[in-house]
Amino acid sequence: ANWKCFTTSYGPTDASVTAGCSSTNLTPCVIANFTEPTDWKLSTFDASSWSAATTYTADEAGWGRTPTFDSATSKCTTLTSPYTAADLSPNYQITTADECLAPISQTWGDSSFIWQGDLNKDNSIICRYVVGSASSLAWSALPLFLSAIVAFFNMA
């Protein structure tokens, strides 16, 4: 696997789940946040301690609630909480129709989706892709700021 990833936000933690954290009881929920490593975007950065990305199929990644576009208001709806699946307020994004995409309706072909090992708890990640041989450490940093998108898609 040429993709190496680092989790910047994880949770709820196992301890908080044990303490009663759930979508109906957010009080005991704890999210662990980790600082991005310094210079991780540089080609000389050593990400050998990072995890290999996990590859998922479209079915495994899931899609959650399909957005809809309201042409009268240019609103793409419905945005929901990745924690409770409840509608957010506001629950829309001002955009154009061609940007309000329902992922499930896209043609992905033989594409695969990468993330860390836990689709439900690895909330935000950064990833790097090896260009060329791994021994040359010729890394190209490709940040993936997909915070909570997988959680959102799994909240169907």
For 100-126, write each residue's pLDDT tens digit. Answer: 877 777 777 777 788 999 988 998 899
What is the DSSP code (8-state) at residue 66? P
pTM of this prediction? Answer: 0.66
In the block, which residue shows the tokens 């990640």? 125
Beta strand extents in the chain (DSSP E only): 3-10, 32-33, 51-52, 54-56, 68-70, 75-77, 92-94, 113-115, 122-130, 139-141
Residues 6+ apart with CB under 8 A from 44: 137, 139
pLDDT confidence band for 58 (50 / 70 / 90): confident
Q: What's the half-sphere exposure (Cβ side, CA atoms, 13 Å) at 33?
A: 2
